[in-house]
Amino acid sequence: MNFKETDARARNGRAEALVDLYERAAYVRVQPPILQPADAFLELSGEELRRRLFLTTDANGRELCLRPDLTIPTCRLHLENNAPVPASYCYFGRVFRDRGGGAGEYLQAGIESLGREDQEAADAECLTLALDSARHFGVEKSVIRMGDVGLFSAFVAALDLSPAWRRRLLKDFNRTGTLAADLSSLKLAASAPSPHAGMLAALEGSDPAAARAFVADLLSIAGISNVGGRTVGEIAERFLEQASLGSAGGLGTGNCTALERYLSIEGDPDAALAELRALAKDSKLDLSAALERLEQRIGFMAAGGVDLSTVRFSTAFGRALDYYTGMVFELYDPRDYVKWPLVAGGRYDKLMTLLGSKTAIPAVGFAAWINELEQAGAA
């Protein structure tokens, strides 16, 4: 047996012991199939994920992929088994995705907590267990990067904005987490009159699918089939969005000022909460429910032993998956030896419904990256 084989076996032993830790915390171990329907990932994570998946097809032409993570397969398994809630799952296994180099095969462990109504307490427990995962590999005092997608949604809902602008802001935040950097271009877009206002007025009130089909037909008649890798349907969607934004009125000076101030808030959770309360008061925005949830979560985190001085709460921080709805976080190597997140997760209350659940199921969880944890612990 060579050194690499010995090291891999030892690493798997540490990961197996990590799963034992999860099981002692009342999480039931599951082993979702490696081969998964590709549409579950592409519809929920976006077509941009396609280039990073390992794809194949079955005899009926259905597109399949090697699982790129274990959250969606675990949630699908829960629904397929028609399991009751609350339910708590843990796992350890290989996942497959192109991360821009390497073998494309990685070891992942993690948990998924489904159906708990005490959501702020469940969030804090999830973070505490994530920190325990890092300590299991010898990583003490992980740097915690944290945000809150639900808080941003509540903030945008409280602003005096058209539905088109609300959708645009939420989309940009969820997809990139870099809305602060994009705000200047959004202000320019808001102030520019749409050259397609007449066509948009003609389409106003029509079924969205019919409007997209109409614009796609016009593009096809003009001989446009593909621009920059985008399909006619994607071009039509983008056109309608831009035209709608141009006709819906600007963001407004007050809204822009409030957005810029909101997205600049960063620091320890208590200080960030105080700044958010001041922003809500100054801007006359009702954020009381969202801020109360944040305050409760901070309290549960402190009660669970989380060192709040290691938490960097940023209002501009999101994760590039549309199904996240609340707290999001990533743990990093405190010595900065490993650049990739060691553990990452958050609250994803929309996911179970998107996967076919007839009722909404609150959910929170995280993925722990074994290779990164091992490297950080050995540094």
108 pairs with which residues across the strands? 93, 369
Supply the pLDDT for residue 7: 44
* Spatial contact of 304 and 124, defined as CB atoms under 8 Å apart: yes
**Per-residue pLDDT tens listing for the chain (379 residues):** 333 433 444 456 888 999 999 999 999 999 999 999 999 898 887 667 788 899 999 999 999 999 999 999 999 999 999 999 999 999 999 999 987 777 789 999 999 999 999 999 999 999 999 999 999 999 999 999 999 999 999 999 999 887 878 887 887 787 655 576 556 655 545 455 555 555 555 554 455 566 566 666 666 776 665 555 555 555 555 555 555 555 445 677 788 889 999 999 999 999 999 999 999 999 999 999 999 999 999 999 999 999 999 999 999 998 777 789 999 999 999 999 999 999 999 999 999 999 999 999 999 999 999 999 999 999 7
* Spatial contact of 177 and 317, defined as CB atoms under 8 Å apart: yes
What backbone phi and psi angles, to 5 degrees, belong to 94?
-90, 140
How far is residue 237's CA from residue 221's CA, in Å, rounded to a whole number?
Answer: 17
Tokens 């047996």 label which residue?
1
- Spatial CA neighbour of 155 closest among 319, 324, 277, 297: 277
DSSP 338: -
User: What angle (nearest 5°) sits at the alpha carbon of residue 69, between those of residues 154 and 87?
Assistant: 65
Supply the pLDDT for residue 9: 44
Q: What residue type is assigned to position 305 of the chain?
A: G
Annotate 47-110 with DSSP letters as a single string: GGGGGGS-EEE-TT--EEEE-S-SHHHHHHHHHHTT--SSEEEEEEEEEE---SSS-SEEEEEE
List all residues 6 or more positions away from 150 whose beta carbon is below 8 Å from its beta carbon.
Answer: 290, 293, 325, 326, 327, 347
- Spatial CA neighbour of 313 closest among 324, 303, 298: 298
User: Domains of the chain by range and CATH?
Assistant: 3-144+317-378 (3.30.930.10), 158-253 (no CATH)
Residue burial 60-92, b: 16+ Cβ < 10 Å; e: rest: eeeebbbbbbbbbbbbbbbeeeeeebebbbbbb
List all residues 6 or more positions away from 227 whose beta carbon is below 8 Å from its beta carbon.
Answer: 235
- CA separation, residue 157 to residues 12, 306, 340, 376 (Å): 46, 31, 33, 40
How far is residue 246's CA from residue 244's CA, in Å, rounded to a whole number?
Answer: 5
How far is residue 175's CA from residue 162's CA, in Å, rounded to a whole number?
Answer: 20
DSSP 3-state of 330: strand
Supply the pLDDT for residue 25: 97
Is pTM beyond 0.75? Reply is yes
